[in-house]
Amino acid sequence: MNASAAVYAVRWLIKDTFRQAMATRIFWIMLAVSGVFIVFCLSLDVSGGVDAPQPGDTELYKDNKPIVGPGAAARVTLLFGAMTFETGTRTQDHAVHFLEIMMATMVASYLGFLLTVLWTAGFLPEFLQPSNASVLFAKPVPRWTLLTGKYLGVVVFVAFQVSVFFGGTWFALGIKTGIWQTAYLIGIPLLVVNFAVIYSFAVLIAVLTRSTVACVFGCVLFWALCWGANYGHHFIYAAPDLAAGQSSIGPFTTFLAQAGYWMLPKPADMEWILQDALRSGDYLIAIANAPGFKQAIASGAVDKSMSVVTSIMFSVVMLVISSRHLSKTDY
């Protein structure tokens, strides 16, 4: 099969995934969730504060110090004026920036990620059921193309939903406040890559078990494992500090931590990249300041581009293994 035929087949598989998502209402549920946040953004307003940070100012959430300096802090009203609170930021720009960081990290990166895995985990097992797949696999398109096409279909679907969430909330905040922080949109590619990498493991589980339940639990547990391996690797750099100069981590443990880190996806690093791009350290206790991360970053043991590249390489390996296994499976 030539490349243009493969692209043609993949295009139809992507289209099929959108049809599946619409028919199972997942498409509309995810749009509705994004819609709720877009309406939330349209319901808020910012007022007060100063035009620019004053000399000697600090932000409330930075090191938990109160604002100092002349003038009031920016205030945010929610739900069309029903609630009011101070973000603890000096300027309205910073107040909007603070809200965007909360939505990108707490809402999209954690809650959104888990819900997306839960809602999309059934797509591949259903696709691979013998009574459905036998007819598909009797077509001239190779199995690896069908599997990769369906995987790309899910990733494109998630990319669409992530774009609606980020684009919609960014636009709503922009038209309501007149403040347009384009850095917020960096969340779209970062979260899509993060999802694509973790979801590639769900592809392997789907090929091995054809079970939606196994895909959901396997994927969530794997995500937690990757967080542990990622953070565990960085923790090695903090261990001498925490143990008052006495490192209790042996060479074998260090080797395991290094091997796990380089072989597995790096969701904690992806979170750090997202937070760093959004400058969340200006407002919140960022992951970069957590024990382990701080030392690992300072020692140069973490590299943003290497984290992204090796995570993507993991997903490529998962897809190759899954495709090889599927090609040899009797249907």
Q: Which helix (H) or strand (E) holds 76?
A: strand 74-78
Residue (131 or 182) nearer to other proteins, CB: 131
DSSP state letter for 21: H
CA atoms 9, 207, 154, 305: torsion sign: negative
Size of the site for other proteins (CB under 8 A): 29
Select the span of 8-16, 73-81, 106-114, 293-301 touching other proteins (CB under 8 A): 8-16
For 168-237, the DSSP string reads HHHHHHHHHHS---GGGGGHHHHHHHHHHHHHHHHHHHHHHH--HHHHHHHHHHHHHHHHHHHHHHHHHH
Contact assessment for residue 260 and residue 154, using Cβ atoms and an 8 Å cutoff: no
**Binding flag, residue 20, other proteins (CB under 8 A):** yes
**Binding flag, residue 1, other proteins (CB under 8 A):** yes
**Binding flag, residue 3, other proteins (CB under 8 A):** no
What is the amino acid identity at position 196?
A
Of 169, 226, 167, which is closest to residue 195 (Cα–Cα)? 226
As measured in angstroms, the least distance from the Cβ of 2 to other proteins is 10
Select the span of 21-29, 64-72, 85-93, 100-108 touching other proteins (CB under 8 A): 21-29
- Looking at residues 135 to 154 of the shown chain, list those that interact with other proteins (rule: CB under 8 A): 135-142, 146
* Residue 71-110 contact track with other proteins, rule CB under 8 A, x = bound: ----------------------------------------
Which of 129, 258, 289, 299 binds other proteins (CB under 8 A)? It is 129
Select the span of 2-10, 28-36, 42-50, 262-270 touching other proteins (CB under 8 A): 2-10
Residue 277 has a CB neighbour count (10 Å cut-off) of: 16
